[in-house]
């Protein structure tokens, strides 16, 4: 069981391993979170790679997994909103669960969660999707995602809540992309009040 920005997975009843990576570009004007290299335009990039290993158990239509890993973060910054693994290096603990429905237009459900002990930051995402169109063999699926995340330390904190429709396309049985256009609510110690904005996200998923 594996899915996120990009994954390389070995998954079965027993051990599993995956790699999750992400890149975040965010504005820093008026916030105290820029502790690394900031651009002259008032923006900063923050990226991370998070290898994880653990145990997975799956049945014909569902499964769960528990794992541990380490987040390697480039341009670390505490309390950055939107940083899926937090803004600092740290040991991580993760949990995943999925269920594939039955029937002609089966709904697939997924829950992913992670905690970064170094950044003191938690992230969780729930997704539900159904086949696109009338064909049960269509390679595209449409659905909805809900995300909650937040944390921080030393008085610098942030939290974010996202909701948006998803469109997933399976190019091959092993490779797919997912696009999301949604709405997010962000707040924290660097904000005078909570702020709202639209967002776009593109994910790549590979499972050998």
The predicted model gives 178-200 an average pLDDT of 86
Calculate the average pLDDT of the chain: 82
Q: What is the pLDDT of residue 38?
A: 42
Distance, CA of 100 to CA of 82 (rounded, Å): 28
pLDDT in tens, 49-71: 999 999 999 887 889 999 999 99
Which of 24-38, 73-87, 124-138 is the most confident on average? 124-138
**Radius of gyration over alpha carbons of the chain, in Å?**
18
10: pLDDT confidence band, cut at 50, 70 and 90? very low
CA angle 90–67–102, rounded 5-degree value: 135
The whole-angstrom distance between residue 68's C-alpha and the CA centroid of its chain comes to 16
- In sequence order, the β-bridge partners of residue 126 are 111, 146
pLDDT in tens, 23-53: 887 776 544 444 444 444 577 788 889 999 9
Q: What percent of the chain has pLDDT over 70?
A: 85
- CA count, 13 A, side-chain hemisphere, 154: 8
Please choose, from the candidates 154, 160, 159, the residue with its C-alpha nearest in 3D space to the C-alpha of residue 78.
154
Please choose, from the candidates 182, 17, 20, 37, the residue with its C-alpha nearest in 3D space to the C-alpha of residue 86.
20
Beta strands in the chain (DSSP E): 14-27, 43-58, 62-74, 90-100, 108-116, 121-131, 140-153, 156-170, 175-188, 195-206
Residue 69: is it exposed, middle or buried by C-beta count within 10 angstroms (0-12/13-18/19+)? Answer: buried
Longest dimension (CA), the chain: 54
Q: Give the DSSP letter string of 53-81.
A: EEEEEE-SSEEEEEEEEEEEEES--TT-T
Q: Which residue has the tokens 């051990």?
A: 15
13: pLDDT confidence band, cut at 50, 70 and 90? confident
77: pLDDT confidence band, cut at 50, 70 and 90? confident
pLDDT in tens, 89-115: 999 999 999 998 887 778 899 999 999
**Structural domains of the chain in order of their starting residue, each with its CATH number:** 14-206 (2.40.160)
pTM for the whole structure:
0.80
Beta-sheet strand order (sheet of 43-58):
14-27, 43-58, 62-74, 90-100, 108-116, 121-131, 140-153, 156-170, 175-188, 195-206
| Positive or negative torsion for Cα 172, 175, 179, 185 | positive
Is the per-residue pLDDT at 8 higher than 80? no
Q: Which residue has the tokens 């794992």?
A: 67
């Amino acid at each position: 069981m594996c899915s996120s920005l990009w994954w390389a997975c070995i998954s079965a009843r027993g051990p599993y391993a995956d790699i999750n990576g992400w890149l975040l570009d965010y504005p820093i004007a008026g916030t105290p979170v820029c502790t690394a290299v900031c651009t002259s335009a008032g923006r900063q990039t923050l990226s991370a790679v998070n290898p994880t290993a653990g145990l997975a158990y799956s049945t014909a239509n569902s499964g769960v997994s528990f794992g541990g890993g380490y987040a390697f973060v480039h341009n670390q910054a505490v309390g950055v909103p939107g940083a899926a693994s937090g803004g600092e290096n740290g040991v991580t603990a993760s949990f995943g669960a999925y269920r594939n429905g039955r029937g002609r237009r089966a709904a697939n459900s997924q829950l992913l969660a992670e905690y970064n002990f170094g950044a003191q930051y938690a992230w969780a995402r729930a997704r539900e999707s159904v086949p696109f169109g009338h064909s049960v063999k269509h390679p595209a699926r449409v659905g909805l995602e809900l995300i909650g995340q937040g944390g921080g330390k030393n008085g610098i904190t942030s939290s974010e809540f996202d909701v948006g429709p998803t469109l997933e396309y399976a190019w091959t049985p092993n490779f797919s992309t997912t696009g999301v256009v949604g709405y997010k609510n962000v707040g924290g110690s660097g904000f005078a009040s909570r702020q709202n904005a639209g967002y776009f996200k593109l994910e790549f998923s590979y499972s050998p």
